């Protein structure tokens, strides 16, 4: 199979493989689109089941970033990088230096930041080799630092808007919310949900992360494989993608699915499966844009934390517009969002202001 026939290839502009034997780095950087600006998207470090799984992840995640940045109104295209781990890979300064050189070699067409398996300290190491990096330690009141609290805030506000739309409530007090994955975003989200009076059910494959949330607030737990099917009002996927598919969807009991994980739907048709079951799905790349909003203001040096907060507070109105169009046209929410994102990119590509479309 050639790359151009790959099921996840979608007119990507560039695809790069990097290997640095000295540090053990093996990485893929996918640039999906630069129509709206330099391609931006985090770096994921993961032990993939196969090289093809890593390639598919880079292709899908980078396209998702194009859509995410477009709908968030950012002057950024979509890209993503993955660092392939294996049992022998050591997370070292040399590894991130080699990754930084790889990013730098693209001359600013790709801007990196944190994603799964990457910390602010890792990005500081990358910064020694390239300026095309964001998510660095905060400088005073300027935007910056770990994007995950902003992602969590956007998801929390999106959950509120989704609950109002589907459950007709103005508050999360007393609602049962299942959070899959209590890592960087999931942990911050649990704090916000707990503060709003929700009852939490959580799962994680990482015992340390589970203990961290248990130490801070009352939660009930499920085995990672069972959490999706819990008897809850809201399901918030905050781990990895592809979890909503033809096998899992029929067993989901929540009435709202709204979480941070990228690529939650295994295939686009899963959006219709979810809608047919009467579940409201908040498109992942719309609700989880808080982190890239912070990354963007940090990178361009055009904003304070307050501006980031104000931008993140606009996520619910975008979601509600998508929910309304979905209801009016009887089209699944993911299809409404995809079509909107493509329109924005097309208009941007034609050199017209993005706000003429949105």
Give me the residues that bind ligand NAD (CB under 6 A), please.
114-117, 147-148, 151, 180-186, 203-206, 209, 224, 238-240, 260-262, 288, 291
Q: Which is nearer to ligand NAD, 261 or 280 (CB)?
A: 261
The minimum distance between CB 2 and ligand NAD, in angstroms, equals 28
Closest CA to 333 of 286, 288, 266: 286
Please give the angle made by the CA atoms of 290, 233 and 224, to the nearest 5 degrees. Answer: 75
* 8 Å CB contact between 195 and 153: no
Least distance in angstroms from the C-beta of 170 to ligand NAD: 26
Nearest distance, CB of residue 356 and ligand NAD, angstroms: 27
Q: Can you list the alpha helix ranges (DSSP code H) found in the chain?
A: 51-71, 93-104, 120-127, 148-167, 184-195, 207-216, 270-276, 284-287, 290-300, 305-312, 315-329, 333-349
DSSP state of 36: S
Residue 34: C-alpha distances to residues 55, 62, 144 (Å): 19, 11, 23
| Residue among 216, 152, 217 nearest 188 (CA) | 152
Q: Is 181 or 283 the residue whose CB approaches ligand NAD more closely?
A: 181
Region class of 11: left (phi > 0), else alpha (psi between -120 and 50), else beta:
left
When the beta carbons of 73 and 291 are compared against ligand NAD, the nearer one is 291
What are the catalytic residues?
A: 80
The DSSP secondary structure of 82-116, one letter per residue, reads EEE--TT----HHHHHHHHHHHHTTTTSEEB-B-T
**Closer to ligand NAD at the Cβ: 203 or 347?**
203
Contacts of 17 (CB under 8 A, 6+ apart): 26, 27, 28
Output the six-digit token pair for 319: 């979601």
Contact 77, 41 (CB under 8 A): no
Q: How far is the CB of 248 from ligand NAD (least distance, A)?
A: 12
β-bridge mates for residue 83, sequence order: 27, 45
Please check whether residue 188 is in contact with residue 165, taking contact to mean a CB–CB distance below 8 angstroms. no
Tell me which residue has its CB nearest to ligand NAD.
183
* Shortest distance, position 148 Cβ to ligand NAD, whole Å: 4
Distance CA 218, CA 320 (A): 31
- Taking the least distance from each CB to ligand NAD, the nearer of 77 and 147 is 147
- Residue (316 or 347) nearer to ligand NAD, CB: 316
Rounded to a whole number of angstroms, the minimum distance from the CB of residue 44 to ligand NAD is 7
């Amino acid at each position: 199979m050639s790359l151009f026939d790959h099921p996840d290839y979608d007119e990507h502009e560039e695809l790069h493989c990097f290997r640095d034997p000295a540090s053990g780095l093996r990485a893929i950087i996918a640039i999906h689109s630069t129509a709206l600006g330099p391609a931006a998207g985090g770096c994921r470090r993961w032990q993939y089941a196969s090289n093809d799984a890593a390639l598919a992840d880079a292709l899908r995640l980078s396209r998702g970033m194009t859509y995410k940045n477009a709908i968030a109104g950012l002057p950024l295209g979509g890209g993503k990088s993955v660092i392939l781990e294996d049992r022998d890979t050591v997370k070292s300064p040399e590894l991130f230096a080699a990754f930084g050189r790889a990013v730098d070699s693209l001359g600013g067409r790709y801007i990196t930041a944190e994603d799964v398996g990457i910390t602010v300290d890792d990005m500081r190491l990358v910064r020694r080799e390239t300026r095309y990096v964001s998510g660095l330690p905060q400088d005073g009141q300027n935007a910056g630092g770990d994007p995950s609290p902003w992602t969590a805030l956007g998801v929390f506000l999106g959950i509120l808007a989704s609950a109002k739309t589907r459950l007709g409530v103005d508050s999360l007090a007393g609602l049962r919310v299942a959070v899959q994955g209590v890592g960087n975003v999931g942990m911050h989200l649990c704090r916000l949900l707990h503060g709003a009076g929700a009852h939490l059910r959580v799962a994680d494959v990482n015992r340390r992360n589970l203990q961290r949330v248990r130490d801070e607030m009352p939660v009930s737990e499920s085995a990672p494989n069972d959490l999706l099917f819990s008897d809850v009002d809201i399901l918030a996927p905050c781990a990895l993608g592809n979890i909503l598919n033809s096998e899992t969807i029929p067993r989901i009991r929540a009435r709202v699915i709204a979480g941070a994980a990228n690529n939650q739907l295994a295939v686009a048709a899963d959006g219709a499966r979810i809608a047919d079951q009467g579940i409201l799905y908040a498109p992942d790349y719309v609700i989880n844009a808080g982190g890239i909003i912070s990354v963007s203001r940090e990178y361009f040096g055009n904003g304070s934390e307050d501006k980031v907060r104000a931008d993140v507070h606009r996520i619910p109105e975008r979601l509600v517009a998508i929910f309304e169009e979905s209801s009016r046209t009887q089209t699944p929410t993911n299809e409404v969002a995809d079509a909107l994102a493509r329109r924005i990119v097309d208009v941007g590509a034609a050199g017209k202001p993005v706000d003429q479309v949105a």
